Amino acid sequence: MITLIVGKKGSGKTKKLIERATKAVETSNGNVIVIEKGLKLTYDLPHQARLIDTDAYNVSGAQMLFGFVSGICAGNYDVTDIFIDSTLKIIGQDMNVFKTFAESLNTLAQASNVKITLLVSADAADLPAGMDSLAENV
């Protein structure tokens, strides 16, 4: 299942991601992955969390990010948690594309038994219909 952490810029989403990733590292019997655009979380996360910069792999767009996450799940049977920071910066601002992307990730998360958390810089009211049940406002 996926979880959305939703809020405007500066609302504390990244702080919540750091807290959750740190807790996941402490409690997980597998690997914790944090995907971000740029390397701004390098010193904020425990070294046990695998930090991946999408810019280093030229990942942009919803399909490319979905394929990237799918590859991580396929290549690592012991991934338990994936956190994606700056989701809309990576895939673009189109909320219809975001909805399709989130639904595909939810299916992948269930099939792979992985918890996926997306950080979304938007107002919860701007989310497409049906997404509000996955959203957690900051």
What pLDDT tens digit does each residue of the chain (138 aa) get? Answer: 899 999 888 888 889 999 999 999 999 999 999 999 988 888 889 999 999 999 999 999 999 999 999 999 998 889 999 999 999 999 999 999 999 999 999 999 999 999 999 999 888 888 887 776 666 655
pTM: 0.92
Half-sphere exposure of 92 (CA within 13 A, CB side): 13
- Report the relative pairing of strands 31-36 and 135-137 from DSSP bridges: unpaired
Give the domain ranges of the chain.
2-137
Residue 134 in tokens = 């996955």
53-76 pLDDT tens trace: 999 999 999 999 999 999 999 988
Q: Which two tokens stand for residue 50?
A: 């695998």
Listed residue (120, 57, 63, 55) closest to 93, CA to CA? 120
Which one, of 102, 99, 70, lies nearest residue 3 by Cα? 102
List pLDDT tens digits, range 19-35: 999 999 999 999 999 99
Q: Which of 41, 35, 96 is nearest to 66 (CA)?
A: 35
Supply the DSSP string of 24-41, one letter for each residue: HHHH-SSEEEEEESSS-S
- What residues contact 127, with CB distance under 8 A and at least 6 apart? 4, 6, 95, 120, 135
Give Cβ neighbours of residue 45 (< 8 Å, ≥ 6 apart).
18, 21, 22, 25, 34, 51
CATH of domain 2-137: 3.40.50.300
CA-wise closest residue to 81 among 50, 104, 43: 50
